Copies of this chain bind each other. A is one copy, B any other.
Amino acid sequence: MEKFQVKFMPDQQVIEVEQGTSLLKAASQAGIFIKSSCGGKGTCGACKVTVISGEAKSERTGNLSPEQLSRGVRLSCHTFVEGDLTVEVPPESRLQAHQVLLEDANAALLTETSKDLLTYYGYHPLARKVNIRCSEPTLTDNAGDWTRLSIELKRVLQSDKPLTIPLSVLQTLPETLRQAHWDLSVILTDLESGYTVLHVEPANDRPCYGLAIDVGTTTVVVYLVDLDSGEIVDKQGSYNKQAQFGDDVISRIVYAVDSTENMAEIQKAVVDTVNVLIEGILERQSLTSQNIASAVIAGNTTMSQLFLGINPRYIRLEPYIPTVNSTPAVSAREIGLRLLPEALIHTYPSVASYVGGDIVSGALATDMANSDEIILFIDIGTNGEIVLGNKDWLVSCACSAGPCFEGGGILFGMRAMPGAIERVDIDPESLDVKLKVVGKIAPVGICGSGLVDCLAKLRKAGIIDRAGNFQLEHPSQSARIRATEDDKEFVLAWAHQAGGDKDIVISENDVKNLIRAKGAIYAGIRSLLQTVALEIDMIERIVIGGGFGNYLNVHDSVEIGLLPDLPQEKFEFIGNSSVKGARLALLSQKAWNEAADLARKMTYIELSIGTTFMDEFVSALFLPHTDLSLFPSVEGTF
């Protein structure tokens, strides 16, 4: 097979690939990650690149316009190398490390609440470091090295729990003990079932750390936690490299089950994602992987299975069965994670195929399982999961909201990073627009909170009707409302304002997608309430988690019918509840044990059974809803 060189611009990265390689794959090999919402099927158009020079063959052109085609714009997933090439990857086609540090605003709240729960569950990390001094062996005191070490450890730990040592640690033991002159630091797991020695080294006072990891479909976040103090020492997040195989869990599953190679590749992508984050943190903190003794991972069921290399085939096929609800702890060595090789990786248990460990983790962080009040917990991420209940009962469900609140399936959708429109004001008469953009730079696209706001404002300004249809005959006669070849759209920012060659618009198709997404979530809430025969106003507190939830405006959300019409003071935002629960488990054996109980306690309601959800969904496909009496505070605005 002939090989050719592909040069990616503006990175100037050159890579040699075989003839026939897709540009999407070539870019990935060059370390440039391109969006691929549909998983490379050639339908989403997210992976656009421009072929500047050289020979490439395109098999599919999706909805590229003749003008784009003439400029060399191609779908990288269906364009294949036929000679040496130079290809430009525009910013909007790139997966980018987006800013979890945006969440710092909530750090105080996060830490404070966690501390409360830590006090409640008791501080007892899943791994720890103890310093001990063993007596030296003699001819008359000739117990084996491990016997000597374990006797002293048990004395210091004051516990009769089983104490084990993996072979790999045993193999290094004789030299370490003698180099250390029997004056030792021992890092061990501390679980209910017993202790396992992870590492032995000469005595020192270096802290010992753990990782709380949220493996989201779109985003992965890692917190470095000091296991002695419980403090979050550092945090870092990035996109999940699996995004190159599709935006949502379904595309990922479709990709993974296709072949053993795909499965290995998609597992490696997420493990690599986490390893890169770990390495960034280690470098910044001047630590090595030997300092990291434990990790708790929270992710949805598909993410958890992919992370562990377990084929997710049956998650997607009715009756939607995961391989494992409560995953056994595995060693870092087994999955290639850069911690101490024998460090245990604990994966949060899941409730069902579509209510995963991230929701159990979040629910633990809300403390709803100990609450007298009835709490509604909503996690809006790539999917939308809902838990309802209190200390006596919990029900949960998942509604396929789709990725549009994270920018997926929306023409100018993007995540909340610099250039993202997050607030929209539209003058109802002139239709003049005022935007608030993350990072106060020229707008590039629009993120979830911006979309919610936009939807409310479009409706208020009469640009769309309650079903989301565009009103081309708007009294303003504004040029911002216009029809295209096959859609209608509203211009949020003109090309010259956007600093690009295109107007930033929201289309009727975008609006319909958003209405379906918000409708699915509201219908999920209503369906859950019906299974327990409760009314909306019996909800005493609404807790909203998830990266997107963090920036959500309650007033807007109620106005479009995404969230129930309840008093503002009942709403609480807890940010990334998943990583918060992961940290809690990392620091408290009791909390971690509770997680398994919690997962079992959360009754899963399968929305596809019966007609309740579909009926509710159809009723919710209006702004805010078919039944306006459900939204009294909005009703008056018409």
- List residues of chain A with CB under 8 Å of any chain B CB: 137-140, 142-147, 162, 164-167, 170-171, 173-175, 178, 193, 308-311, 313-314, 318-328, 330, 334-335, 350, 352-353, 604, 606, 608-609
Contacts and interface: CB of A to CB of B under 8 A. Distances in A.
Given A145-B323, A147-B324, A170-B327, 17 more contacts: A137-B319, A140-B606, A140-B609, A142-B319, A142-B320, A145-B321, A145-B322, A145-B324, A147-B326, A165-B328, A166-B328, A167-B308, A167-B309, A170-B324, A171-B309, A171-B310, A174-B313
Contact of A142 (B162, B164, B175, B606): B606
Contacts of A608: 139
7 contacts: A144-B324, A145-B321, A145-B323, A146-B323, A174-B314, A174-B321, A175-B313
B167 A330 contact: yes
A335 B326 CA distance: 28
Contacts of A353: 142
Contacts of A311: 171, 174-175
Q: Is the interface of A mostly helix, strand, loop or mixed?
A: loop
Contacts of A314: 145, 174, 178
Given A139-B609, A320-B142, A608-B139, A325 B170 contact: no
Nearest to A310: B171
Given A174-B310, A328-B164, A321 B144 contact: yes
Contact of A324 (B146, B193, B310): B146
B350 A139 contact: no
Nearest to A263: B171
Nearest to A308: B167
B144 A174 contact: no
Contacts of A166: 328
A167 B334 contact: yes
A264 to B, nearest CB: 11
How many copies of this chain sit in the oligomeric assembly? 2
Contacts of A171: 308-311
Contacts of A325: 143-144, 146-147
Specify which of A173, A322, A352, A608 lies most central, judged by the most chain B CB atoms within 10 Å of its CB: A322
Nearest to A136: B319
Nearest to A352: B142
Contacts of A142: 319-321, 352-353, 604, 606
Contacts of A170: 308, 310, 323-324, 327-328
A308 B172 CA distance: 12
Contacts of A174: 310-311, 313-314, 321, 323
6 residue pairs, one from A and one from B, having the closest CB atoms: A144-B325, A144-B322, A146-B324, A139-B319, A137-B321, A145-B323
Contact of A138 (B140, B146, B319): B319
A325 B150 CA distance: 11
A264 B58 CA distance: 53
A402 to B, nearest CB: 22
A637 B621 CA distance: 113
A178 B352 CA distance: 18
A63 to B, nearest CB: 36
A314 B608 CA distance: 66
A32 to B, nearest CB: 31
Contacts of A330: 167
A612 to B, nearest CB: 14
A320 B141 CA distance: 10
A429 to B, nearest CB: 52
A314 B140 CA distance: 15
Contacts of A324: 144-147, 170, 173
A139 B323 contact: no
Contacts of A606: 139-140, 142
B137 A323 contact: no
B319 A193 contact: no
A492 to B, nearest CB: 43
A407 B138 CA distance: 34
Contacts of A173: 310, 323-324
